[in-house]
Amino acid sequence: MTPDRKIKIIASVAWALFLGILELPLRLWRDVLAPLWSDPLRPVWGLDPPAPYKSQRQHDADVKEIIEHLKKARESGKEVVIGRKVGEGHSARSGRYKEKAFRVDMTKLDSVLELDVESRRAVCEPFVSFSALSSLTLPHNLLPLVVPEFRRITVGGAIQGLGIESTSYRNSTFDTTLVDTTLLTGRGDVIRSSEHPRLWRSVPGSNGTVALTLSTEVKLTPATEWVRLRYVKYASPLEFTRESNRKVEEYNRGEKEENWIGNDKLMDGVGFPWGTIGMFGGCVTKEDARRLHRSGMPIYRQGPASDLYYRHIEDIGKGGGHVTPEAFEEHLEKYGELLHEELIPTPVYLFRYDRGGFWGITALPKFFPSLASLLSNRIFHTVLTTLVSTATLYKIAMLVSDQTREGSAILQDLDIPPSGVKKLLRWNDDTLGIWPLWLCPVACSQDKRTFGLGRSEDIKSVEDMYAMNVGVYGAPSNGGYPLFDANIQLEKLVASLGGKKALYAFVYSDREVFWSWYDAREYEELREEYGGKNVFMGLWEKVSKPMG
């Protein structure tokens, strides 16, 4: 990275810290003082300001500019990438692939064009973040069907990167919940996904290499300002997977309700070496929240002095929590034991892992060994993650070289058919020993997808219904295992299990192996047909690890 680029990143981290400090009094009031002095159940509608509105006319003018920019890019003969700066998104890859490319700047597309509460739809530009979108829709008791858990993940990024979260065991990836999406082809044509279903099936997960997203109509569904969450202990991630199998099958057999309100609307888990905690729940009405709170159910908030969320889970796993005997009986899971129940303001629930990027922050000392004692200090984690979001942590991580980052930690999300989870866990134990692991079941979409989790019409068993997303984030505890070899082994293992890895991370396998994981012919044909070939950078070229 050029010194100039480094200085820009440091300046933008410093700016984020400054804004975080300015915001502190507001957060202190909202998250600590107001709940003490006034109604503890007063609603928190959002952690960030709501997305701004933009007129269709202004949007059309902005799109025209982007089309002109794309035309210039074609004339230059250079390959096109999105002109976001290094560390602005949530990729574990550096921006080296962008160095010789033509950057098309689309960041003006950051507003909402329409919110129709009646028909439960929001038309969004791609650079609207989920935090800004949910701050806009939640006061209307509505949320998208899938809300990825980092505050600054954008709608466009979640389409092109297959966004998931705890509603995904029912609602699949974010892109499958959209009504219609406007795309810009390599030829400069503006088209709608509904009129080009074959093309659309190859867009999600393609990382902007098939077509660019200009706007999208997001389906919204009823939600409330409170989540009731229960924490259940399982012996291992395998037991949690068995529970997921049961719940996914049950859901697939029953009436498919899409809303956030109810008992088993949310499901994810965190695996620790000593056991796995599954989190289940859904939104409750304010009246129910009040009744439950009066009967002793605690409220979890993330105030300025809060620890990272995964440590909250760990404390519950080791020390138990609040659970009434009735709830214990009522919620006796098949494989696990109910440890704790709590209420969480919905925006805090949605972005609970944003603090520290799950536990990704614990890898920072490996990137900057000379600052290791400061960077591994829990108080420092609390202060830093109070002030800045996960997006800024990525910027900090981008200050070191790819070699240092990739040589000291792993950040991978792996979608594995449920029967393959055991082998993946064994491999992790034998090689890296990375814990905790994030576990998030994701339903397969109902049509074939080039990069997503599509399935055939023929559902024979739970294996065809969903994949377990296993998030492996952090530095190996087994020490000394060469991570280059581990990455190659991991990619082979995931492919042999019939799984997929998330492409926000580097791909280590060569081009031929990479394309054996996907329908390369379909991808190339569509790039040819819609003018993406020789205009947008190819997918392998974008995600493969640069050597040296």
User: Which chain residues interact with ligand FAD by CB under 6 A?
Assistant: 82, 84, 89-92, 106, 126, 148-149, 153-154, 156-158, 160-161, 163-165, 207-208, 212-213, 357, 360, 411, 413, 471, 473, 504
Q: In angstroms, give the least distance from the CB of 472 to ligand FAD.
A: 9
d(CA 79, CA 396): 27
The residue behind tokens 């867009």 is 203
- In order of 220, 398, 403, 530, the CA distances from 484 in angstroms are 42, 19, 10, 36
Q: Which is nearer to ligand FAD, 226 or 536 (CB)?
A: 536
Q: In angstroms, give the least distance from the CB of 503 to ligand FAD.
A: 8
Q: Which is nearer to ligand FAD, 327 or 515 (CB)?
A: 515
Q: Which two tokens stand for residue 121?
A: 């739809």
Range list of H helices, 279-420? 286-294, 309-319, 325-330, 346-350, 364-367, 372-375, 378-387, 390-397, 402-408
Q: In angstroms, give the least distance from the CB of 130 to ligand FAD.
A: 9
d(CA 146, CA 131): 12
Q: Which is nearer to ligand FAD, 212 or 227 (CB)?
A: 212
d(CA 500, CA 444): 12
The residue behind tokens 């098949």 is 334
d(CA 453, CA 517): 12
Give 413's strand partners: 471
Q: Which is nearer to ligand FAD, 141 or 276 (CB)?
A: 276
d(CA 160, CA 84): 14
Q: In angstroms, give the least distance from the CB of 325 to ligand FAD.
A: 35
Q: Which is nearer to ligand FAD, 312 or 341 (CB)?
A: 312
Q: 483-496 and 421-430 helices cross at what angle (nearest 10)?
A: 160
Q: In angstroms, give the least distance from the CB of 146 to ligand FAD.
A: 8
Q: In angstroms, give the least distance from the CB of 236 to ligand FAD.
A: 21
Q: Which is nearer to ligand FAD, 251 or 451 (CB)?
A: 451
Q: In angstroms, give the least distance from the CB of 255 to ligand FAD.
A: 26
Q: Which is nearer to ligand FAD, 292 or 410 (CB)?
A: 410
Instruction: Work out the angle at residue 69's Cα, subtended by the Cα atoms of residues 68 and 74, and round it to the nearest 5 degrees.
Output: 95
